[in-house]
Amino acid sequence: MRLFPADDHGADGKKLSPGQIKTDILSGLTVALALVPEAVAFAFVAHVHPLVGLYAAFIVGLITAVFGGRPGMISGATGALAVVMVDLVTRHGVEYLFATVVLMGLLQLFAGAMRWGKFIRMVPHPVMLGFVNGLAIVIFLAQLGQFKVKTPEGGTAWMSGEPLYLMLGFTAVTMALIYVVPRITKFIPAPLAAVGIVSLIVIGFDLDLPRVGDLASIEGGLPLFHIPTVPLTLETFEIILPYSLILAAIGLIESLLTLNVVADMTETKGGASRECLAQGMANTVTGFFGGMGGCAMIGQSVINVKSGGRTRLSGISAALFLLSFILFASSLIEQIPLAALVGVMFMVVIGTFAWRSLTIMRRIPRKDALLIVLVTIVTVFTDLAIAVVVGVILAALFYAWNAATRMHAVSGIDVSGAKIYSLDGPLFFGSTESFLAQFTPKDDPDRVVIDFMNSRVVDHSGLQAIESLAKRYDELGKRLQLRHLSRDCKALLGKAGQLVEERDDEDPVYGVASDYDLRVGQVGTGH
């Protein structure tokens, strides 16, 4: 059995034709240029050296490009992980970070081996819309930091006057070029063309604009194998385990949601569990090579897809270009104006935000509209993982409430004088109160039948409600029978005596709490 299934052409079936090879390589170059300031910025957030962020972007990007669940998806150092890492680095130092990243990767490998990636399908569509909207806003807000300059006192302040006008002007020029270039030629990805043109103008006229080199020097060597120098003790494990669990969860959630977003953009499918394995492998390796770990990056993934990158070659190219920048072209890359890269990311924001979610707000149920808005807000003010968890929990509660309110019964008297309750709606923990409220044991005749043809017993709370109702009728000396229950329910309720009618030819077949023993032997029927 293969750990990673074969993938000759990528998830979307794109073959490596000469034209596609050219497009993927140029898309990778565009992505690599956008990765540099992001990786450096996130390294600063985590309080580590810029090369720690750049190495993570290279290693995580390369491994996930080769083995990931979605060709064309880009991974690297991200802000969602950096904000968790900063507390660990501040308290215990960078070596503990490397050990944490290794354990994070092992946890993600375990999740992939257990095929837990499939649970991403439990994320409702309104939560997905809120996720991409919130992430677009986060990407936009992150770019605003490029409009600040250092003050003599060592702090930062917003640009003003001519520097601000130049920054805004060339950001707008970059965005305009990205919009116009595809209408002139598709030989070169529009973001790459825009960055190249703006860079030539700024460097040629020696304009006073912030450059990539103003953030930090990106010059360095090859990442070297390094075992984290931390004590191999239980105390160390207790320190790094909570951070590893949080980082592993955030990384997988962001990666799997990004996989879904890219799959929707390209109308293809991706392998969720395979992506978990790839992320785990990438982070385990990164921790041993001095990287800060990472996960999928929706902004860079959108850049790649919009630039035409479709196969694994685009992600591989991006990682290799990034390494070449570090080794050979740092002085050149450091001259790229930040305005050009900000313009690229602003176009990513426009492309990522689900604008149609604004137009459908009045047409969808209010609870779905509330989910979109709430997940967007939580994403902006906390982090992606919390937002998604909150959204899924609320969606589940909304569903449970809706299902609970559907429980009702129609009653009538048959020719034998028995009262028949025909149930409609699922019987589960949320509807047990409504279920019990349908019956009037004191006023009912001596024989009562509950018909489950249009109902289903979903969980053990439903079975417990049936037991409770049986007790009430038994105490009044009345006979209660259950009709059209599944075989599993029959087996569990068999200890209650002759409650269940034998109609095997008509009974439904579905599973319910088959490992739960009701222990209702003490409940009789009075017959």
What pLDDT sits at residue 499?
A: 60
Cα–Cα dist 147/482, whole Å: 71
508 CB-near residues (< 8 Å, 6+ apart)? 452, 453, 456, 484, 485, 486
- Considering the domain architecture, whether residues 32 and 180 belong to the same structural domain is answered as yes
| Token couple for 89 | 């680095």
Ranges 328-337, 444-453, 462-471: which has the least confidence:
462-471
Cα–Cα dist 440/472, whole Å: 10
The overall average pLDDT reported for the chain is 87
- Considering the domain architecture, whether residues 428 and 331 belong to the same structural domain is answered as no
Read off the pLDDT of each residue in 169-187 and give the average, rounded to a whole number.
Answer: 93
Among 316, 345, 369, the domain boundary falls at: 369
Q: Do residues 76 and 82 lie in contact, with contact meaning Cβ atoms separated by under 8 Å?
A: no
- Considering the domain architecture, whether residues 196 and 57 belong to the same structural domain is answered as yes
**Cβ count within 10 A of residue 417:** 9
Read off the pLDDT of each residue in 72-99 and give the average, rounded to a whole number.
Answer: 93
Q: Give the type of residue at 443.
A: D
- Considering the domain architecture, whether residues 260 and 321 belong to the same structural domain is answered as yes
* Residue whose structure tokens are 């390209």: 266
**Cβ count within 10 A of residue 439:** 19
More confident residue, 204 or 506: 204
User: Residue 122's pLDDT band (boundaries 50, 70, 90)?
Assistant: confident
279 CB-near residues (< 8 Å, 6+ apart)? 60, 64, 68, 75, 105, 108, 112, 251, 252, 255, 295, 296
Dihedral sign computed on CA atoms, order 490, 493, 498, 499: negative
Whether 396 maps to a domain, the answer reads no
Look at phi and psi of residue 267 and say left if phi exceeds 0, alpha if psi is from -120 to 50, else beta.
Answer: left
- Considering the domain architecture, whether residues 429 and 363 belong to the same structural domain is answered as no
Whether 280 maps to a domain, the answer reads yes
| Token couple for 307 | 């630039």
Per DSSP, the three-state class of 279 is helix
Whether 377 maps to a domain, the answer reads no
Q: Rounded to the nearest 5 degrees, what angle is found at the Cα of 70, between the Cα atoms of 65 and 75? A: 45
Q: Give the type of residue at 486.
A: S
What pLDDT sits at residue 245?
A: 93
Alpha helix stretches (DSSP H) within 406-482: 432-437, 460-475
Among 340, 369, 398, the domain boundary falls at: 369
Whether 375 maps to a domain, the answer reads no
Cα–Cα dist 108/435, whole Å: 42
User: Residue 467's pLDDT band (boundaries 50, 70, 90)?
Assistant: confident
What pLDDT sits at residue 166?
A: 95
- Considering the domain architecture, whether residues 341 and 422 belong to the same structural domain is answered as no
Burial 142-158, CB ≥16 within 10 A → b, else e: bbeebbeeeeeeeeeee
Alpha helix stretches (DSSP H) within 206-290: 234-266, 272-287
Cα–Cα dist 63/515, whole Å: 42
384-417 pLDDT tens trace: 778 888 999 999 888 888 888 888 899 999 988 9
What pLDDT sits at residue 518?
A: 33
Whether 300 maps to a domain, the answer reads yes
- Considering the domain architecture, whether residues 417 and 362 belong to the same structural domain is answered as no
135-172 pLDDT tens trace: 889 889 989 989 998 888 878 899 999 999 999 999 99
Alpha helix stretches (DSSP H) within 406-459: 432-437
Among 369, 387, 414, the domain boundary falls at: 369
- Considering the domain architecture, whether residues 103 and 158 belong to the same structural domain is answered as yes
What pLDDT sits at residue 513?
A: 39
DSSP track, 298-355: HHHHHHHHHTT--SHHHHHHHHHHHHHHHHT-HHHHTTSBHHHHHHHHHHHHHHHS-T
What number of H helices and E strands is found in the chain?
19, 8
Ranges 201-210, 312-321, 495-504: which has the least confidence:
495-504
- Considering the domain architecture, whether residues 354 and 473 belong to the same structural domain is answered as no
> Residue 477 pLDDT > 80, yes or no?
yes
Read off the pLDDT of each residue in 433-443 and give the average, rounded to a whole number.
Answer: 92
Angle between helices 161-184 and 338-352 (to 10 degrees): 60
> Residue 118 pLDDT > 90, yes or no?
no
Cα–Cα dist 462/456, whole Å: 9
485 CB-near residues (< 8 Å, 6+ apart)? 452, 457, 493, 500, 507, 508
- Considering the domain architecture, whether residues 290 and 427 belong to the same structural domain is answered as no
- Considering the domain architecture, whether residues 425 and 356 belong to the same structural domain is answered as no
Give the domain extent around 416: 406-496
pTM of the model: 0.77
Percent of the chain with pLDDT over 70: 90
Whether 525 maps to a domain, the answer reads no
How many independent structural domains does the chain possess?
A: 2
Whether 121 maps to a domain, the answer reads yes
- Considering the domain architecture, whether residues 115 and 238 belong to the same structural domain is answered as yes
3-state SS of 148-162 is: EEECCCCCEEECCHH
Ranges 164-168, 238-242, 265-269: which has the least confidence:
265-269
Whether 123 maps to a domain, the answer reads yes
Using alpha carbons, select from 125, 73, 64, 5 the residue that is nearest to residue 266: 73
| CATH number of the domain encompassing residue 446 | 3.30.750.24
Cα–Cα dist 506/485, whole Å: 9
* CB burial of residue 106 (10 Å; 0-12, 13-18, 19+): middle
